[in-house]
Amino acid sequence: MSDFTSEMRAYIDREIKTLQSLNLDELNTAVNAILDARERGGVIYTMGNGGSAATASHMVCDFAKGASENLGGKKFCFECLCDNTPIVMAIANDISYDDVFSFQLEKKLRAEDLIIAISGSGNSKNVIKAVEFAKQVGTPVIGITGYSGGKLRELSNYRMHVNIDDMQIAEDVHMMFDHMILRVICALEIKERVFS
């Protein structure tokens, strides 16, 4: 039997170091942007490619069902632009893969909505095109990135950045952002109900 324990320990140690380097003030501002979108009745659109698409979809499950089921007051309105495979494939085939997200936002995105754009590199063309469209509409953007953050980090109003040149660890932490936001928002709501 092969022994991978030292490699596993190195991966875990690198992940811990990355978590300890996160900018919590930056993350806190992004969490408040999500709460603000909920309060103003905005739709929160998520998007990403590959593993980031899975994270974008998972966020919808956790907030549209998990958080909304357990919280009082307004429910979250989340929509993942990756989840309707026939629409994504039709746009990619008939127009361009670069348009799979921006096309879905045309004629329905409002300034009161919120975009959560996820890209490990920060340079996914279809994500950037959708974010640029959102900027034209006046819709705020949370960029969830890794590496240097790329163009997405520059364009975003709010940032949830993982400063590491490692896609797997960046994606791990992006998924952790989802659960962390869910946990802190639920804790806040419970606290407010108890003490109000």
108-143: pLDDT as tens digits:
999 999 999 999 999 999 999 999 999 999 999 999
Which structural domains are found in the chain, ordered by start?
5-195 (3.40.50.10490)
Residue 65 region, left (φ>0) first, then alpha (ψ -120 to 50), else beta? Answer: alpha
User: In this structure, are residues 24 and 37 in contact, taking their beta carbons and an 8 Å threshold?
Assistant: no
Distance CA 114, CA 34 (A): 8
The answer to whether residue 185 scores a pLDDT higher than 70 is yes
Average per-residue pLDDT in the chain?
A: 94
- Total-model pTM: 0.94
For residue 104, count other CB atoms closer than 10 A to its CB: 20
Q: Model confidence over 5-39: pLDDT tens digits?
A: 999 999 999 999 999 999 999 999 999 999 999 99
CA-based nearest residue to 43, from 137, 95, 111: 111
Q: Which long-range contacts (CB under 8 A, 24 or more apart) does 188-193 make?
A: 189/70, 189/71, 189/72, 189/73, 193/72
CA distances from 142 to 69, 158, 162, 173 (A): 24, 5, 13, 15
Pairing of the two strands 78-80 and 114-119 = unpaired
Q: What would the two tokens of residue 41 be?
A: 């009745």
Q: What would the two tokens of residue 3 be?
A: 């022994």
Q: What would the two tokens of residue 109 be?
A: 């995105």
Percent over 70 (pLDDT), the chain: 94
Q: Model confidence over 131-179: pLDDT tens digits?
A: 999 999 999 999 999 999 999 999 999 999 999 999 999 999 999 999 9
Confidence of residue 194 (pLDDT cuts 50, 70, 90): very low
Q: What would the two tokens of residue 21 be?
A: 């380097």
Percent over 90 (pLDDT), the chain: 87
Please give the pLDDT value at position 72.
Answer: 66
Pairing of the two strands 78-80 and 141-145 = unpaired
